[in-house]
Amino acid sequence: MKQDMILILDLGSEENPKIAREIRAMGVYTEIHPHDISAETLSALPGVKGIILNGGPNRVVDGVSIDAGDAVYQSGLPVLCADHKGEPAFPADDAARADVLHRFVFDTCKAEANWNMENFIADQVELVRRQVGDRKVLLALSGGVDSSVVAALLIRAIGKQLTCVHVNHGLLRKGEPEQVVEVFRDQMDANLIYVDATDRFLDKLAGVDEPEQKRKIIGTEFIRVFEEEARKLEGIDFLAQGTIYPDIIESGTKTVKAVKSHHNVGGLPEDLGFELVEPLKMLFKDEVRACGKALGLPDNMVYRQPFPGPGLGVRCLGAITRDRLEAVRESDAILREEFADAGLEGKVWQYFTVVPDFKSVGVHDGLRTFDWPVILRAVNTVDAMTATVEDVPFALLQKITARITSEVKGVNRVLYDLTPKPSGTIEWE
Ligand code: XMP
Protein backbone atom coordinates (compact mmCIF):
# COMPACT_ATOMS: atom_id res chain seq x y z
CA MET A 1 0.00 0.00 0.00
CA LYS A 2 1.25 3.38 -0.93
CA GLN A 3 -0.96 5.57 1.23
CA ASP A 4 -1.12 6.92 4.73
CA MET A 5 -4.47 6.40 6.40
CA ILE A 6 -6.60 8.13 9.01
CA LEU A 7 -8.90 5.67 10.72
CA ILE A 8 -12.38 6.80 11.74
CA LEU A 9 -13.99 4.64 14.40
CA ASP A 10 -17.74 4.54 14.25
CA LEU A 11 -19.31 5.43 17.56
CA GLY A 12 -22.62 6.11 15.91
CA SER A 13 -22.26 9.54 14.33
CA GLU A 14 -24.04 9.92 11.01
CA GLU A 15 -21.36 12.44 10.10
CA ASN A 16 -18.59 9.86 9.78
CA PRO A 17 -18.90 9.40 6.00
CA LYS A 18 -18.75 13.17 5.58
CA ILE A 19 -15.62 13.41 7.71
CA ALA A 20 -14.09 10.52 5.79
CA ARG A 21 -14.74 12.38 2.55
CA GLU A 22 -13.41 15.68 3.87
CA ILE A 23 -10.10 14.10 4.84
CA ARG A 24 -9.85 12.26 1.52
CA ALA A 25 -10.44 15.60 -0.18
CA MET A 26 -7.28 16.79 1.66
CA GLY A 27 -5.44 13.96 -0.10
CA VAL A 28 -5.29 11.53 2.82
CA TYR A 29 -6.93 8.11 2.65
CA THR A 30 -9.55 7.23 5.30
CA GLU A 31 -11.46 4.16 6.36
CA ILE A 32 -14.40 3.81 8.75
CA HIS A 33 -14.29 0.83 11.09
CA PRO A 34 -16.42 -0.38 14.03
CA HIS A 35 -15.63 1.16 17.40
CA ASP A 36 -14.63 -2.16 18.94
CA ILE A 37 -11.88 -2.90 16.41
CA SER A 38 -9.52 -5.60 17.67
CA ALA A 39 -5.81 -5.08 18.23
CA GLU A 40 -5.09 -7.61 15.43
CA THR A 41 -7.30 -5.85 12.86
CA LEU A 42 -5.88 -2.50 13.83
CA SER A 43 -2.27 -3.58 13.50
CA ALA A 44 -3.02 -5.28 10.16
CA LEU A 45 -4.34 -2.05 8.62
CA PRO A 46 -1.58 -0.52 6.53
CA GLY A 47 -0.39 3.05 6.93
CA VAL A 48 -2.57 4.16 9.86
CA LYS A 49 -1.29 7.53 11.13
CA GLY A 50 -4.08 8.49 13.51
CA ILE A 51 -7.56 7.72 14.77
CA ILE A 52 -10.72 9.82 15.00
CA LEU A 53 -13.45 8.85 17.43
CA ASN A 54 -16.77 10.45 16.68
CA GLY A 55 -20.11 9.44 18.07
CA GLY A 56 -22.26 12.52 18.37
CA PRO A 57 -25.72 12.02 19.88
CA ASN A 58 -25.78 8.32 18.94
CA ARG A 59 -22.87 7.57 21.17
CA VAL A 60 -25.30 6.41 23.77
CA VAL A 61 -26.95 3.20 22.52
CA ASP A 62 -29.88 1.85 24.55
CA GLY A 63 -28.92 4.06 27.47
CA VAL A 64 -25.37 2.74 27.58
CA SER A 65 -22.47 4.94 26.57
CA ILE A 66 -20.10 3.22 24.13
CA ASP A 67 -16.38 3.79 23.77
CA ALA A 68 -13.56 2.47 21.67
CA GLY A 69 -11.75 -0.65 22.86
CA ASP A 70 -8.41 -0.75 24.65
CA ALA A 71 -6.69 -1.57 21.37
CA VAL A 72 -7.18 2.04 20.32
CA TYR A 73 -5.84 3.66 23.45
CA GLN A 74 -2.90 1.24 23.67
CA SER A 75 -1.91 1.62 20.01
CA GLY A 76 0.22 4.68 20.65
CA LEU A 77 -1.42 6.39 17.68
CA PRO A 78 -2.69 9.98 17.97
CA VAL A 79 -6.40 9.98 18.80
CA LEU A 80 -8.82 12.83 18.10
CA CYS A 81 -11.73 12.30 20.41
CA ALA A 82 -14.18 14.63 18.81
CA ASP A 83 -17.13 14.39 21.14
CA HIS A 84 -15.90 13.51 24.57
CA LYS A 85 -18.71 13.15 27.09
CA GLY A 86 -21.41 13.85 24.58
CA GLU A 87 -20.25 17.33 23.62
CA PRO A 88 -21.06 18.36 20.05
CA ALA A 89 -18.73 16.58 17.63
CA PHE A 90 -16.87 19.33 15.81
CA PRO A 91 -17.17 23.06 15.48
CA ALA A 92 -20.53 23.57 13.83
CA ASP A 93 -19.29 25.71 11.00
CA ASP A 94 -17.58 23.91 8.14
CA ALA A 95 -14.46 26.08 7.90
CA ALA A 96 -13.64 25.74 11.61
CA ARG A 97 -14.17 22.01 11.42
CA ALA A 98 -11.99 21.64 8.33
CA ASP A 99 -9.31 23.51 10.28
CA VAL A 100 -9.52 21.11 13.24
CA LEU A 101 -9.32 18.11 10.91
CA HIS A 102 -6.50 19.64 8.89
CA ARG A 103 -4.38 20.31 11.97
CA PHE A 104 -4.99 16.83 13.36
CA VAL A 105 -4.20 15.07 10.09
CA PHE A 106 -1.10 17.00 9.08
CA ASP A 107 0.35 18.50 12.31
CA THR A 108 -0.50 15.86 14.91
CA CYS A 109 -0.46 12.70 12.78
CA LYS A 110 2.07 13.95 10.24
CA ALA A 111 0.14 12.17 7.50
CA GLU A 112 1.26 12.72 3.93
CA ALA A 113 -1.24 13.80 1.28
CA ASN A 114 -0.53 10.85 -0.98
CA TRP A 115 -4.04 9.55 -1.69
CA ASN A 116 -4.71 9.85 -5.41
CA MET A 117 -6.21 7.80 -8.21
CA GLU A 118 -2.92 6.67 -9.71
CA ASN A 119 -1.84 5.17 -6.37
CA PHE A 120 -5.29 3.71 -5.79
CA ILE A 121 -5.34 2.04 -9.20
CA ALA A 122 -1.79 0.75 -8.82
CA ASP A 123 -2.66 -0.74 -5.41
CA GLN A 124 -5.87 -2.36 -6.63
CA VAL A 125 -4.21 -3.83 -9.72
CA GLU A 126 -1.64 -5.44 -7.46
CA LEU A 127 -4.23 -6.65 -4.92
CA VAL A 128 -6.48 -8.13 -7.61
CA ARG A 129 -3.54 -9.92 -9.24
CA ARG A 130 -2.57 -11.32 -5.86
CA GLN A 131 -6.13 -12.44 -5.08
CA VAL A 132 -6.91 -13.94 -8.47
CA GLY A 133 -3.56 -15.40 -9.52
CA ASP A 134 -4.03 -17.18 -12.84
CA ARG A 135 -7.70 -17.97 -12.24
CA LYS A 136 -10.81 -16.51 -13.91
CA VAL A 137 -13.28 -13.80 -12.95
CA LEU A 138 -16.86 -13.16 -14.10
CA LEU A 139 -18.59 -9.77 -14.12
CA ALA A 140 -22.19 -8.75 -14.84
CA LEU A 141 -21.50 -5.58 -16.83
CA SER A 142 -24.64 -3.44 -16.94
CA GLY A 143 -22.96 -0.41 -18.44
CA GLY A 144 -23.70 1.66 -15.33
CA VAL A 145 -20.88 3.64 -13.72
CA ASP A 146 -19.88 1.12 -11.06
CA SER A 147 -19.79 -2.05 -13.15
CA SER A 148 -18.06 -0.19 -16.00
CA VAL A 149 -15.30 1.07 -13.72
CA VAL A 150 -14.85 -2.40 -12.20
CA ALA A 151 -14.54 -3.81 -15.73
CA ALA A 152 -11.94 -1.23 -16.77
CA LEU A 153 -9.91 -1.81 -13.60
CA LEU A 154 -9.99 -5.59 -13.95
CA ILE A 155 -9.13 -5.45 -17.64
CA ARG A 156 -6.01 -3.51 -16.62
CA ALA A 157 -5.20 -5.98 -13.84
CA ILE A 158 -5.95 -9.36 -15.42
CA GLY A 159 -6.95 -8.77 -19.07
CA LYS A 160 -8.60 -11.82 -20.60
CA GLN A 161 -8.89 -13.65 -17.28
CA LEU A 162 -11.98 -11.48 -16.91
CA THR A 163 -15.19 -12.39 -18.71
CA CYS A 164 -17.87 -9.69 -18.83
CA VAL A 165 -21.50 -10.60 -19.48
CA HIS A 166 -23.75 -7.80 -20.71
CA VAL A 167 -27.41 -8.74 -20.51
CA ASN A 168 -29.59 -6.47 -22.66
CA HIS A 169 -33.04 -6.83 -21.14
CA GLY A 170 -34.54 -4.63 -23.83
CA LEU A 171 -35.22 -1.88 -21.29
CA LEU A 172 -31.96 0.04 -21.70
CA ARG A 173 -31.64 3.58 -23.01
CA LYS A 174 -31.02 4.25 -26.67
CA GLY A 175 -27.42 3.51 -27.65
CA GLU A 176 -26.40 1.92 -24.34
CA PRO A 177 -25.84 -1.71 -25.30
CA GLU A 178 -24.01 -0.58 -28.43
CA GLN A 179 -21.71 1.60 -26.33
CA VAL A 180 -20.89 -1.25 -23.94
CA VAL A 181 -19.80 -3.43 -26.87
CA GLU A 182 -17.89 -0.58 -28.51
CA VAL A 183 -15.98 0.50 -25.37
CA PHE A 184 -15.21 -2.86 -23.81
CA ARG A 185 -14.94 -5.25 -26.73
CA ASP A 186 -13.68 -2.97 -29.49
CA GLN A 187 -11.57 -0.44 -27.57
CA MET A 188 -10.43 -2.36 -24.48
CA ASP A 189 -10.29 -5.77 -26.14
CA ALA A 190 -12.16 -7.45 -23.27
CA ASN A 191 -13.75 -10.86 -23.24
CA LEU A 192 -17.35 -9.70 -23.55
CA ILE A 193 -20.42 -11.87 -23.92
CA TYR A 194 -23.35 -9.85 -25.21
CA VAL A 195 -26.76 -11.40 -24.65
CA ASP A 196 -29.79 -9.86 -26.32
CA ALA A 197 -32.58 -11.17 -24.10
CA THR A 198 -35.14 -8.54 -25.16
CA ASP A 199 -37.78 -11.00 -26.39
CA ARG A 200 -37.44 -13.16 -23.32
CA PHE A 201 -37.99 -10.23 -20.95
CA LEU A 202 -40.84 -8.68 -22.94
CA ASP A 203 -42.61 -12.03 -23.20
CA LYS A 204 -42.41 -12.51 -19.43
CA LEU A 205 -43.67 -8.96 -18.86
CA ALA A 206 -46.56 -9.13 -21.32
CA GLY A 207 -49.81 -8.08 -19.65
CA VAL A 208 -48.19 -7.41 -16.24
CA ASP A 209 -49.19 -3.96 -15.00
CA GLU A 210 -48.36 -3.97 -11.28
CA PRO A 211 -45.08 -2.05 -10.72
CA GLU A 212 -43.55 -4.29 -8.03
CA GLN A 213 -44.51 -7.38 -10.03
CA LYS A 214 -42.74 -5.89 -13.07
CA ARG A 215 -39.62 -5.22 -10.96
CA LYS A 216 -39.69 -8.76 -9.60
CA ILE A 217 -39.95 -10.33 -13.04
CA ILE A 218 -37.13 -8.20 -14.42
CA GLY A 219 -34.91 -8.96 -11.40
CA THR A 220 -35.58 -12.69 -11.42
CA GLU A 221 -35.19 -13.04 -15.17
CA PHE A 222 -31.92 -11.09 -15.05
CA ILE A 223 -30.46 -13.57 -12.58
CA ARG A 224 -31.67 -16.51 -14.67
CA VAL A 225 -30.09 -15.22 -17.87
CA PHE A 226 -26.85 -14.40 -16.10
CA GLU A 227 -26.70 -17.82 -14.44
CA GLU A 228 -27.33 -19.56 -17.74
CA GLU A 229 -24.40 -17.70 -19.27
CA ALA A 230 -22.20 -18.40 -16.24
CA ARG A 231 -22.96 -22.12 -16.49
CA LYS A 232 -21.73 -22.21 -20.09
CA LEU A 233 -18.33 -20.96 -18.97
CA GLU A 234 -15.70 -23.18 -17.45
CA GLY A 235 -13.33 -22.71 -14.57
CA ILE A 236 -14.67 -19.46 -13.13
CA ASP A 237 -13.67 -18.95 -9.48
CA PHE A 238 -14.52 -15.32 -8.83
CA LEU A 239 -17.41 -12.94 -9.26
CA ALA A 240 -16.53 -9.25 -9.55
CA GLN A 241 -18.98 -6.71 -8.17
CA GLY A 242 -19.32 -2.96 -8.30
CA THR A 243 -19.93 -2.59 -4.57
CA ILE A 244 -18.97 0.92 -3.46
CA TYR A 245 -18.35 2.44 -0.03
CA PRO A 246 -21.84 3.94 0.50
CA ASP A 247 -23.32 0.45 -0.11
CA ILE A 248 -21.25 -0.83 2.77
CA ILE A 249 -21.90 2.15 5.05
CA GLU A 250 -25.62 2.24 4.26
CA SER A 251 -26.17 -1.42 4.85
CA GLY A 252 -25.52 -0.59 8.49
CA THR A 253 -22.68 -0.77 10.97
CA LYS A 254 -22.87 -1.82 14.58
CA THR A 255 -24.17 1.53 15.73
CA VAL A 256 -26.01 2.98 12.75
CA LYS A 257 -29.19 1.35 11.56
CA ALA A 258 -29.44 0.62 7.85
CA VAL A 259 -30.51 3.82 6.07
CA LYS A 260 -32.42 1.95 3.42
CA SER A 261 -32.50 -1.54 2.07
CA HIS A 262 -31.18 -1.70 -1.44
CA HIS A 263 -33.76 -2.39 -4.04
CA ASN A 264 -31.04 -3.51 -6.32
CA VAL A 265 -32.71 -5.04 -9.36
CA GLY A 266 -29.93 -6.28 -11.58
CA GLY A 267 -28.05 -7.31 -8.47
CA LEU A 268 -27.05 -10.90 -7.98
CA PRO A 269 -27.76 -13.27 -5.10
CA GLU A 270 -24.83 -13.91 -2.79
CA ASP A 271 -24.89 -17.68 -3.07
CA LEU A 272 -23.71 -18.12 -6.65
CA GLY A 273 -20.78 -20.02 -5.21
CA PHE A 274 -18.03 -17.64 -6.24
CA GLU A 275 -15.48 -15.74 -4.23
CA LEU A 276 -16.01 -11.98 -4.58
CA VAL A 277 -13.71 -9.40 -6.12
CA GLU A 278 -14.79 -5.90 -5.11
CA PRO A 279 -12.07 -3.42 -6.00
CA LEU A 280 -14.22 -0.28 -5.54
CA LYS A 281 -15.59 -1.12 -2.14
CA MET A 282 -13.65 1.66 -0.40
CA LEU A 283 -14.59 4.42 -2.87
CA PHE A 284 -17.27 7.10 -2.69
CA LYS A 285 -19.25 7.73 -5.88
CA ASP A 286 -17.27 10.77 -7.04
CA GLU A 287 -14.06 8.79 -6.51
CA VAL A 288 -15.46 5.93 -8.60
CA ARG A 289 -16.04 8.43 -11.42
CA ALA A 290 -12.52 9.82 -11.05
CA CYS A 291 -11.19 6.27 -11.15
CA GLY A 292 -13.14 5.53 -14.35
CA LYS A 293 -11.81 8.66 -15.95
CA ALA A 294 -8.24 7.80 -14.97
CA LEU A 295 -8.77 4.37 -16.58
CA GLY A 296 -9.81 6.00 -19.85
CA LEU A 297 -13.57 5.46 -19.86
CA PRO A 298 -15.59 8.01 -21.87
CA ASP A 299 -17.17 10.94 -19.99
CA ASN A 300 -20.73 10.01 -20.89
CA MET A 301 -20.19 6.62 -19.22
CA VAL A 302 -18.44 7.97 -16.14
CA TYR A 303 -20.70 10.98 -15.48
CA ARG A 304 -23.92 9.22 -16.37
CA GLN A 305 -27.04 9.93 -14.30
CA PRO A 306 -28.50 7.19 -12.11
CA PHE A 307 -30.57 4.65 -13.99
CA PRO A 308 -32.81 2.11 -12.23
CA GLY A 309 -32.09 -1.60 -12.65
CA PRO A 310 -35.56 -2.23 -14.19
CA GLY A 311 -34.68 0.50 -16.66
CA LEU A 312 -37.28 1.89 -19.01
CA GLY A 313 -39.60 -0.88 -17.80
CA VAL A 314 -40.82 1.32 -14.92
CA ARG A 315 -41.15 4.35 -17.23
CA CYS A 316 -43.43 2.59 -19.68
CA LEU A 317 -46.36 2.64 -17.27
CA GLY A 318 -48.67 -0.31 -16.75
CA ALA A 319 -48.34 -3.34 -18.99
CA ILE A 320 -45.35 -2.78 -21.28
CA THR A 321 -45.97 -2.74 -25.02
CA ARG A 322 -43.23 -2.54 -27.64
CA ASP A 323 -44.58 0.59 -29.30
CA ARG A 324 -44.88 2.56 -26.05
CA LEU A 325 -41.47 1.27 -24.96
CA GLU A 326 -40.00 2.69 -28.17
CA ALA A 327 -41.76 5.99 -27.45
CA VAL A 328 -40.08 6.10 -24.00
CA ARG A 329 -36.68 5.26 -25.49
CA GLU A 330 -36.89 7.80 -28.33
CA SER A 331 -38.26 10.63 -26.18
CA ASP A 332 -35.62 9.94 -23.51
CA ALA A 333 -32.89 10.19 -26.17
CA ILE A 334 -34.27 13.55 -27.34
CA LEU A 335 -34.47 14.87 -23.77
CA ARG A 336 -30.89 13.82 -23.05
CA GLU A 337 -29.65 15.36 -26.29
CA GLU A 338 -31.37 18.67 -25.63
CA PHE A 339 -30.19 18.80 -21.99
CA ALA A 340 -26.63 18.12 -23.17
CA ASP A 341 -26.87 20.88 -25.80
CA ALA A 342 -28.17 23.28 -23.15
CA GLY A 343 -25.21 22.49 -20.87
CA LEU A 344 -27.39 20.73 -18.28
CA GLU A 345 -25.71 17.31 -18.51
CA GLY A 346 -24.06 16.51 -15.18
CA LYS A 347 -25.81 19.52 -13.58
CA VAL A 348 -29.29 18.06 -13.18
CA TRP A 349 -29.25 14.93 -11.03
CA GLN A 350 -31.75 12.82 -12.97
CA TYR A 351 -33.96 13.50 -15.98
CA PHE A 352 -36.04 11.15 -18.07
CA THR A 353 -39.35 10.61 -19.82
CA VAL A 354 -42.37 8.52 -18.92
CA VAL A 355 -45.13 7.22 -21.19
CA PRO A 356 -48.45 6.47 -19.47
CA ASP A 357 -50.96 3.94 -20.72
CA PHE A 358 -53.72 6.30 -21.76
CA LYS A 359 -54.29 8.37 -24.88
CA SER A 360 -55.57 11.87 -25.54
CA VAL A 361 -57.03 13.65 -28.53
CA GLY A 362 -54.85 15.89 -30.67
CA VAL A 363 -54.60 17.28 -34.17
CA HIS A 364 -52.00 16.80 -36.91
CA ASP A 365 -52.17 18.34 -40.43
CA GLY A 366 -55.81 19.17 -39.79
CA LEU A 367 -56.66 15.61 -38.83
CA ARG A 368 -57.71 14.25 -35.46
CA THR A 369 -55.14 12.11 -33.64
CA PHE A 370 -55.59 9.85 -30.64
CA ASP A 371 -52.12 9.23 -29.18
CA TRP A 372 -50.05 8.97 -25.98
CA PRO A 373 -48.59 11.80 -23.95
CA VAL A 374 -44.93 11.92 -22.88
CA ILE A 375 -44.19 13.16 -19.35
CA LEU A 376 -40.87 14.91 -18.73
CA ARG A 377 -39.24 14.65 -15.30
CA ALA A 378 -36.07 16.46 -14.12
CA VAL A 379 -35.09 16.43 -10.44
CA ASN A 380 -32.28 17.29 -8.08
CA THR A 381 -31.47 15.49 -4.87
CA VAL A 382 -28.61 14.63 -2.54
CA ASP A 383 -29.64 11.17 -1.42
CA ALA A 384 -32.75 10.32 -3.51
CA MET A 385 -34.85 10.28 -0.32
CA THR A 386 -36.25 13.72 -1.12
CA ALA A 387 -36.02 15.64 -4.40
CA THR A 388 -36.79 19.05 -5.88
CA VAL A 389 -37.89 19.77 -9.42
CA GLU A 390 -35.39 21.40 -11.80
CA ASP A 391 -36.42 24.86 -12.98
CA VAL A 392 -35.99 24.08 -16.69
CA PRO A 393 -36.10 27.19 -18.93
CA PHE A 394 -39.50 27.41 -20.60
CA ALA A 395 -37.97 27.86 -24.06
CA LEU A 396 -36.08 24.60 -23.63
CA LEU A 397 -39.26 22.79 -22.58
CA GLN A 398 -40.97 24.16 -25.69
CA LYS A 399 -38.13 22.99 -27.93
CA ILE A 400 -38.17 19.50 -26.41
CA THR A 401 -41.96 19.38 -26.79
CA ALA A 402 -41.75 20.34 -30.47
CA ARG A 403 -39.13 17.69 -31.15
CA ILE A 404 -40.90 14.90 -29.27
CA THR A 405 -44.31 15.55 -30.84
CA SER A 406 -42.84 15.65 -34.33
CA GLU A 407 -40.17 12.92 -34.05
CA VAL A 408 -41.65 10.28 -31.75
CA LYS A 409 -44.22 7.98 -33.26
CA GLY A 410 -47.58 7.74 -31.49
CA VAL A 411 -47.11 10.84 -29.29
CA ASN A 412 -49.19 14.02 -29.55
CA ARG A 413 -48.71 15.77 -26.19
CA VAL A 414 -45.90 16.58 -23.71
CA LEU A 415 -46.29 17.31 -19.98
CA TYR A 416 -43.79 18.53 -17.38
CA ASP A 417 -43.98 16.93 -13.95
CA LEU A 418 -43.84 19.67 -11.28
CA THR A 419 -44.03 17.32 -8.29
CA PRO A 420 -41.23 17.25 -5.68
CA LYS A 421 -40.50 14.13 -3.62
CA PRO A 422 -42.53 13.93 -1.47
CA SER A 423 -45.35 13.80 -2.54
CA GLY A 424 -44.25 12.06 -5.72
CA THR A 425 -41.42 9.54 -5.93
CA ILE A 426 -38.77 10.24 -8.54
CA GLU A 427 -39.90 7.38 -10.76
CA TRP A 428 -43.58 6.99 -11.64
CA GLU A 429 -43.71 3.32 -10.73
P1 XMP B 1 -37.87 6.76 -6.23
O2 XMP B 1 -38.73 6.54 -7.42
O3 XMP B 1 -38.01 5.69 -5.18
O4 XMP B 1 -36.39 6.64 -6.75
O5 XMP B 1 -38.02 8.15 -5.65
C6 XMP B 1 -35.23 6.98 -6.03
C7 XMP B 1 -34.01 6.60 -6.89
O8 XMP B 1 -33.94 5.18 -7.02
C9 XMP B 1 -34.04 4.81 -8.38
N10 XMP B 1 -34.89 3.61 -8.45
C11 XMP B 1 -34.42 2.36 -8.59
N12 XMP B 1 -33.16 1.90 -8.76
N13 XMP B 1 -33.98 -0.30 -8.91
C14 XMP B 1 -32.95 0.57 -8.93
O15 XMP B 1 -31.82 0.12 -9.11
C16 XMP B 1 -35.28 0.08 -8.75
O17 XMP B 1 -36.19 -0.74 -8.74
C18 XMP B 1 -35.49 1.48 -8.58
N19 XMP B 1 -36.61 2.23 -8.38
C20 XMP B 1 -36.22 3.52 -8.31
C21 XMP B 1 -34.66 6.00 -9.10
O22 XMP B 1 -34.29 6.04 -10.48
C23 XMP B 1 -34.10 7.15 -8.31
O24 XMP B 1 -32.78 7.45 -8.74
Q: For the segment 339-369, what is each residue's pLDDT rounded down to a tens digit? A: 999 999 989 999 999 999 999 999 999 999 9
What amino acid occupies position 351?
Y
pLDDT for 92: 72
Residue 212 Cα, ligand 1 centroid: separation in angstroms?
12
Residue 144 Cα, ligand 1 centroid: separation in angstroms?
14
**Per-residue confidence band for 91, with pLDDT thresholds at 50, 70 and 90:** confident
**Per-residue confidence band for 259, with pLDDT thresholds at 50, 70 and 90:** very low
Distance CA 338, CA 336 (A): 6
8 three-state secondary structure: strand
- Other C-beta atoms closer than 10 Å to the C-beta of 315 total 26
What residue spans of 51-116 are helical by DSSP H?
A: 70-73, 94-102
Which atom in ligand 1 lies closest to the alpha carbon of residue 424?
Answer: 5
Which DSSP string do the residues of 226-294 spell out, in sequence order?
HHHHHHHS-SEEEEE----HHHHHHT--SSS--S-----TT---TTSS-EEE-TTTT--HHHHHHHHHH
pLDDT for 260: 40
**Per-residue confidence band for 269, with pLDDT thresholds at 50, 70 and 90:** low
% the chain with pLDDT above 70: 91
pLDDT for 428: 98
Which atom in ligand 1 lies closest to the alpha carbon of residue 381?
Answer: 24
Which atom in ligand 1 lies closest to the alpha carbon of residue 421?
Answer: 5
Task: Extract long-range pairs of 260-263: CB within 8 Å, 24+ residues apart.
Answer: 260/385, 263/215, 263/309
Distance CA 418, CA 429 (A): 16
pLDDT at 265 over 90: no
Element (H, E) at 211: helix 211-232
Q: Compute the average pLDDT of residues 311-326.
A: 98
Higher pLDDT, 92 or 162: 162
pLDDT at 252 over 80: no
pLDDT at 257 over 70: no
Residue 42 Cα, ligand 1 centroid: separation in angstroms?
37
Residue 406 Cα, ligand 1 centroid: separation in angstroms?
30
Phi–psi pair at 42, nearest 5 degrees: -60, -45
Which residues line ligand 1 at a C-beta cut-off of 6 Å? 215, 263-265, 306, 308-310, 350, 384, 421, 425-427
Residue 60 Cα, ligand 1 centroid: separation in angstroms?
33
For residue 311, is it left (φ>0), alpha (ψ between -120 and 50) or beta?
A: left
**Measured between alpha carbons, how far is residue 25 from residues 90, 97, 98, 100, 286 in Å?**
18, 14, 11, 15, 11
Distance CA 349, CA 334 (A): 17
Round the average pLDDT of the chain to a whole number and report it: 92
| Protein residue with least CA distance to atom 18, ligand 1 | 308
What residue spans of 313-366 are helical by DSSP H?
A: 322-341
User: Dihedral of CA 405/410/412/418: which sign?
Assistant: negative
Could you tell me which of 158, 196, 191 has the C-alpha nearest to residue 177? 196
What pairing do the DSSP bridges indicate for beta strands 191-196 and 275-277? unpaired
Residue 427 Cα, ligand 1 centroid: separation in angstroms?
6
**Per-residue confidence band for 164, with pLDDT thresholds at 50, 70 and 90:** very high
| Protein residue with least CA distance to atom 6, ligand 1 | 384
Residue 272 Cα, ligand 1 centroid: separation in angstroms?
25
Element (H, E) at 401: helix 394-407
Distance CA 155, CA 403 (A): 40
Q: Compute the average pLDDT of residues 395-424.
A: 98
Which atom in ligand 1 lies closest to the alpha carbon of residue 425?
Answer: 5
Distance CA 39, CA 202 (A): 54
**Measured between alpha carbons, how far is residue 339 from residues 311, 343, 348 in Å?**
20, 6, 9
| Protein residue with least CA distance to atom 11, ligand 1 | 308
Q: For the segment 46-61, what is each residue's pLDDT rounded down to a tens digit? A: 899 999 998 766 666 6
Q: Which of 216, 426, 428, 429 to mutate to test the pocket of ligand 1 (most atoms within 8 A of CB)?
A: 426
**Per-residue confidence band for 258, with pLDDT thresholds at 50, 70 and 90:** very low
**Per-residue confidence band for 311, with pLDDT thresholds at 50, 70 and 90:** very high
**Per-residue confidence band for 69, with pLDDT thresholds at 50, 70 and 90:** confident
Find out whether 10 and 253 touch, Cβ atoms under 8 Å: yes
Any idea which of 35-44, 310-319, 333-342, 362-371 has the lowest mean pLDDT?
A: 35-44
Q: Compute the average pLDDT of residues 274-298.
A: 96
Q: Which of 263, 350, 388 to mutate to test the pocket of ligand 1 (most atoms within 8 A of CB)?
A: 263
pLDDT for 94: 83
285-294 and 145-158 helices cross at what angle (nearest 10)?
A: 40
